[in-house]
Amino acid sequence: MKKLISIAVLSAAAASPAFAEGPYLGATYNSLGITDSRIGGVELDVDTLGVVGGYELSPNLAVEGRLLTGVDEENSGAFRTEVDSYIGANLLGKLPLNNQFSLYGTLGYGFLDANVSGPGFNTSDDDGALSYGGGVMYTAGSVNIRAGYEMLYDKDNIEADGLNLTATFAF
């Protein structure tokens, strides 16, 4: 009987779907709109590039860290904004639609270092805030490509949100 149970357990484990549990590393691009309510809600656009690294805990859950830096600054009329850095940690949940496509959602906490200035106005924020987002993920072997929306920072008078594109490689 013990032998039969052992064979049944091994057969069930072999028939289970595989997943890429383990570490991954990649690159990320964000097209952010930064809004400061103290300047009348004017949205200033800034692009960021960065690295992302994480660990897939299960087929549906990963932990992830990211480090971003601004690659440009925007001057809009009298106002100017730039992102010096963003450091964050997220949980990444996935809902598979089929073998290649999944919906994903993120929830985490991040620190934004950004500057907004204008006539008689200069502010810099380097505080932490809740971050969240979601989108679609495409998987081909050990490569994942994600596209979605993210709210990286929403605290006090400043919001930083926008579109995100991330590519990772599991190893």
Instruction: Pick the more confident residue, 45 or 13.
Output: 45
Arithmetic mean of pLDDT, 32-36: 86
Using one digit for the tens of pLDDT, what is the confidence trace for 7-25?
433 333 333 344 468 999 9
Within 10 angstroms of residue 171's Cβ, the number of other Cβ atoms is 9
Asked whether residue 130 carries a pLDDT value surpassing 60, the answer given is yes
41: pLDDT confidence band, cut at 50, 70 and 90?
confident
Instruction: Pick the more confident residue, 43 or 76.
Output: 43
Mean pLDDT of the chain: 85
d(CA 58, CA 14): 16
Q: Are 152 and 128 in contact (CB under 8 A)?
A: no
Using one digit for the tens of pLDDT, what is the confidence trace for 80-119?
888 999 999 999 999 999 999 999 999 999 999 988 887 7
Q: What is the DSSP letter of 97?
A: S
Q: Are 113 and 85 in contact (CB under 8 A)?
A: yes
169: pLDDT confidence band, cut at 50, 70 and 90?
very high
d(CA 118, CA 96): 46
Instruction: Pick the more confident residue, 34 or 28.
Output: 28
B/e letters for 105-143, b = 16+ CB within 10 Å, e = fewer, are ebebebbbbbbbbbeeeebebeeebebbbbbebebeeee
**Length in residues, the chain:** 171
Farthest-apart Cα atoms in the chain, separation:
82
Q: What is the residue whose two structure tokens read 């049944």?
A: 8
Q: How far is CA 129 from CA 2, 27, 65, 87, in A?
A: 54, 22, 15, 11
**Does the global pTM surpass 0.85?**
no
Q: Which pLDDT belongs to residue 1?
A: 45
In the chain, pLDDT over 70 holds for what percent of residues? 88
DSSP H helices in the chain: 2-15
Q: Which pLDDT belongs to residue 20?
A: 62
